[in-house]
Amino acid sequence: MAEPAEPAPAAEAGPARRTDHSPWNWLLLIPIVLPLVTPLYNRDAPRLWGFPAFYWIQLSFIVVGVVTTTVVYQMTKRR
């Protein structure tokens, strides 16, 4: 009886179960949904440096994507 029973894996025994749920994750919906709404950008005017709106608005979605993923990463990383 020296040996105790097989210890439960740390996962199930640990008091705080790990999770990656966070309200901040909802922010990631923005860069997923925005590019799918064509009425937002499917036009020529206003032009920016000669780029029709169709092109510069979609290129600016890349920046939106970078900002949201960065914010979510900073807000959800474990300390």
Partner 1 sequence: MRDHITEIVIFTALFLLVSGMGFVAARWRAPQDMLHLDEWGLGGRSFGAWITWFLIGGDLYTAYTFVAVPALIFGAGAAGFFAVPYTVIIYPMVFLVLIRLWSVSHRHGFVTPADFVRTRFGSPTLALLVAITGIVATMPYIALQLVGIEAVLKAMGVTGEGWLARHAPIIVAFAILAAYTYQSGLRAPALIAFVKDTLIYVVILVAVLYLPYKLGGWGHIFDAADAKFAASQAPNDGILLNANNQLQYVTLALGSALALFLYPHSVTGVLASRNRTVIKRNMSALPAYSLLLGLIALLGYMAIASGVQPLPGSRPGTVDNNTVVPLLFDQQFPAWFAGVAFAAIGIGALVPAAIMSIAAANLFTRNIYKEYLRKDATPAQEAHVSKITSLVVKVGAVAFIIFLDPQFSIDLQLIGGVIILQTGPAVALGLYTRWLHRGGLIAGWVAGMGLGMWMLYQIPNAAGRKHFGGSAFPLSEFGFDTKRTIYVGLVAVFVNLLVAVVTTLILRAAKTPDGVDGTVADDYFADEGDPRLEKARVTPEAVGSST
Helices (H) and strands (E) in the chain, counts: 3, 0
Residue 3 or 12: the one with the smaller Cβ distance to partner 1 is 12
Contact footprint for partner 1 (CB under 8 A): 9-12, 14, 17-20, 25, 28-29, 31-32, 34-38, 42-44, 47, 49-52, 54-55, 58-59, 61-62, 64-66, 68-70, 72-73, 77
State in angstroms the smallest separation of the CB of 9 from partner 1: 7
Given CA atoms 48, 62, 33, 77 in this order, what sign does their dihedral have?
negative
Q: Is there a cis peptide before residue 46, judged by omega within 30 degrees of 0?
A: yes
